[in-house]
Amino acid sequence: MGELKVVLDDELLRAFKERAYRIFGFKKGALKAAVELAIRDFIEHIDIIQAENIGIERIRGLLKDLKISSVELQHKALKLWVRE
């Protein structure tokens, strides 16, 4: 097994832990399971983007005209995701 150490924004870490414990419970291995899920999901999304030949520059180009910050965009995306 590999090891990955990261430093995260306090608010992001708090939100991640809150949701991880909500989904996986307050038990040993909950955060590990949530991190593994997040990494797998990230890899899957990147693979889909690359398989469809959608470059990161094209995605950035789609978002360049937005008048909200990336954090606000993340919050809106999360709200849409939670509703589904």
Residue at 59 is within a domain? yes
| Residue 32 is assigned to a structural domain of this protein | yes
Dist CA 9 CA 79 (whole Å)? 20
- Tell me if 5 is assigned to some domain: no
- 28 is a domain residue: yes
Structural contact between residues 30 and 20, judged by C-beta atoms closer than 8 angstroms: yes
Percent above pLDDT 70 for the chain: 82
Q: Total structural domains in the chain?
A: 1
User: What's the pTM value of the predicted model, to 2 decimals?
Assistant: 0.58
Residue 68 belongs to some domain of the structure: yes
Query: 60 lies in which domain range?
Result: 10-83
The pLDDT tens digits of the residues spanning 51-80 come to 766 666 666 666 677 788 878 888 888 887
